[in-house]
Structure 1
């Protein structure tokens, strides 16, 4: 048989069996995206980090070490000690962060309280990541926001309600201004934002330490200690239930604002375009310098909200230079785990808020060092930042990169196109 005849025969064969066995069949692609997607990978990263954290707790437990000394005589004692240590650790976290038989769901309010600044800060890091920028200056931005919000809350007499609004806006503005300095320097000089924001962290720390010792900002009776004046009651964030206050609602509204900016505004489109390819964005007429400045300013505004909630919610009796409580760096973990998506950032913030709230009962009741929570957070960052490692451990496929929404749209357009083809064929046959 000649080559043209052989080609004609092959094209006349039905294609249905080939589609069923082809790896590019839509169902194969769908499950490939599910099994290799970021959601499952994040869950497995959390699970693996908790597993390694459990092993560290077991290895460092004195009870387990004692039982392991006579393992070959009574192995059941070692197994029981291991189980008791792991069970005690996670029961303590659960009862300290979610539900306690004595107080019901009141510990959940502790989780929400810890999650509030983590969510706001995580949004600040996430919007920077979406533009290809690494804002590591959350600490300095929170400190400047605390200074602004604390000064307005303590020294500016305003009516209740208005006082709180102005204090919160002052904190947001302070964070935006301070992050905007790094954005302007990067846009004008090309300096790397990581170096700029790290240096500005220390500038803010020593500046706050100095200012909190001056009569304008220092609390009465503080002596030589850097201590801010207490915030007036009219500027306090109102308590909602238990330990959670209005700041949590503001953090959720900030997540909504993040979604609106990124998905419903031209600025969000520019941020995404610059993050994907700044050279192509510049060719398309987008000002990369202006977008960089705006992105870092908005990032600082989210950190400013985190600083304002700290001062007006938890540190109303006056704050010190450690008011950031490491949130500026924890927010990086939250953004990475949340995949820079507002819903993911909220969920990640709640997870780390739960770990922080439960770590204190774990240390008190079980005697497990509180630093184990920081170890777990670091492991989560390691696994999230190295997707090939998670895929290799759990033998996950590489995703196609096509989103579920795009897949649904393609299927809808395909069905619409098939319907139009059938209508055309029917009209042609009717004319004949």
Structure 2
């Protein structure tokens, strides 16, 4: 999938750096040719009409070049630049068609300019539908221009006429095919760079998470052993002390669970990045949870967009993210106490920002604004036995892949978590 930014840059380079000098030269020779006053130029149109057409072509190009420049400078949007490039192509087609009858009709050397413009169309508009429409218009206008120049119905019986039309069609097809092959190679190179970029970011996690976990695990074990010794040797007369020692051991076990999660966090550096179908991973996460048996009264509604681009991700990590959010949704519905509820899973593509969107919505207990603002804070939890690290780790993992997660929630009405995952890293974009 080609990024829009790359296509826009290519259009600007082609139109400003290549086409502008060529058109300036074409107009210069057109004015010289029309000014010669030869019979070849005046047998169809008057001299004033010829200059009027050349001036009109010059003015139309000037207008659309100004639009291109302003759209680039003021960031009007990709559509403005693409539209200007489209009309510039049509204008060039019309002007070449105007020159064909004046320069020999079927034998006109201007014919070969059409092949160059078709190559330009392939560069500016890689999508076959847009490219095909423009190039088909080129063929139709060329045929009409030749007929105007020849004024003979027998023209359509000549082999050379059909041969020239076929050549134009073949050039159009070949340009699209060559571009597709080049694009395949470019995408393959980008995929390789993508793997390296993301793997480097994930590897950076091990140093921090691993050092924290291993640095605290051993002292915690020593403290736990000491507390156990005190608990066993404190006499019944010191019941208050024994009770506090018990509390210490419970908190040590809780801390141990937290460190275990951090240890899992450090294992993310062993990620194996692959191209994933995000809808299939969502289904895999649902199957892993077994909602039909564990939560029989809670229903899941899927709203998946088809034909989404592949995502570079570790499958285990992505499934873990989805599973965590889906389990949270189930637990929120159970906490509400109504016995039944609905979870909606949605996937879609944000083409403008080149990101995949996944949302997990539930009809559960919801949260107040103060809780929403703290939900990603480490160790913050509204659950009795929660560690408060689940969503914090999920958020950090998503951000490791240059993604983001947002939440909207209302008390007693439910919550919606929305994940944005880029198709390419920021370095690639």
Give TM-score, length-normalised by structure 2. Answer: 0.22
Higher relative contact order, chain-length normalized (CA < 8 Å, sep 6+): 1
Name the one with the larger strand percent.
2
Q: Which structure has greater helix proportion?
A: 1
Question: TM-score, normalising length from structure 1?
Answer: 0.22
